[in-house]
């Protein structure tokens, strides 16, 4: 039951923070946040998905979120997935890839942002952003695949012993 409460709290908080915000196509921003959350495979990914833009788009701090009962693991990943000015996008991605949970949710975030089915037309700035996001997506995807392969090898080696 605690899990349900935490997720509901994250959703309510995200809805409050993103109230009135729209994406670059004029759609309610909360829809993006909810799609990222829904891609989550477990509670941690879902919580981080709901919260992934809260620090960037509000005055809230990690301490504020800790007081609401969010797990330290999710808050640690939130620090990795939240952009900090004036870092470049590449510096930001370098920070994201330092945390496995942040990587997984950033992949969900990028997958949603790169879903072009809801876009009527791309302008040159959109294409530039898309290519940058695509590069980051493939970099993180490789990291995840390498980690899975290493885990598989370690598991196989342990069985042989």
Question: CA 123, CA 131: separation in Å to the nearest integer?
Answer: 12
Neighbouring-strand partners of residue 28: 22
At residue 28, the 3 state secondary structure works out as: strand
Q: Render pLDDT for 61-94 as a digit per residue (tens, 0 to 9).
A: 999 999 999 999 999 999 999 999 999 999 999 9
Owning domain of residue 94: 2-160
Among candidate residues 58, 66, 73, 94, the one with its CA nearest the CA of residue 9: 66
Assess contact for 137 and 114: CB atoms under 8 A: yes
**Over the chain, what is the mean pLDDT?**
93
pLDDT digits 0-9 by tens, 24-64: 888 999 999 999 999 999 999 999 999 999 999 999 999 99
Q: How far apart are CA 113 and CA 65, in angstroms?
A: 25
| Predicted local distance difference test score (pLDDT) of residue 117 | 83
What values do phi and psi take at 28, rounded to 5? Answer: -55, 125
Task: Output the pLDDT for position 10.
Answer: 98
pLDDT at 150: 84
**DSSP state for residue 117 in the 8-state scheme:** G
The answer to whether 47 and 86 are in contact (CB under 8 A) is no
Of 3, 86, 103, which is closest to residue 52 (Cα–Cα)?
Answer: 103
Quote the percentage of the chain above a pLDDT of 90.
80
The predicted pLDDT at position 157 comes to 64
Domains of the chain: total? 1
CA pair distance 161, 46, nearest whole angstrom: 37
Residue 153 has pLDDT above 80, yes or no: no
Q: What is the pTM assigned to this prediction?
A: 0.89
SS3 assignment, position 123:
coil
Going by pLDDT thresholds of 50, 70 and 90, the confidence category of residue 156 is low
**Whole-number Å distance between alpha carbons of 45 and 106:** 10
Domain harbouring 37, CATH code: 1.10.3210.10
pLDDT given for residue 34 in this prediction? 98
């Amino acid at each position: 039951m605690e899990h349900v409460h935490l997720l509901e709290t994250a959703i309510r908080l995200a809805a409050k923070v993103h109230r009135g915000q729209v994406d670059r196509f004029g759609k309610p921003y909360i829809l993006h946040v909810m799609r990222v959350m829904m891609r989550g495979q477990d509670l941690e990914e879902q919580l981080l998905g709901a919260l992934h833009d809260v620090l960037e788009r509000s005055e809230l701090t990690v301490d504020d979120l800790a007081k609401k009962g969010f797990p330290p693991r999710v808050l640690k990943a939130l620090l990795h997935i939240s952009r900090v000015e004036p870092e470049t996008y590449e510096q930001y991605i370098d920070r994201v890839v330092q945390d496995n949970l942040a990587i997984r949710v950033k992949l969900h975030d990028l997958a949603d942002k790169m879903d072009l089915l809801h876009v009527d037309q791309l302008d040159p700035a959109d294409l530039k952003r898309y290519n940058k996001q695509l590069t980051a997506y493939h970099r993180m995807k490789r990291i995840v695949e390498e980690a899975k392969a290493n885990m598989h090898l370690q598991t196989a080696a342990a069985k042989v012993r």
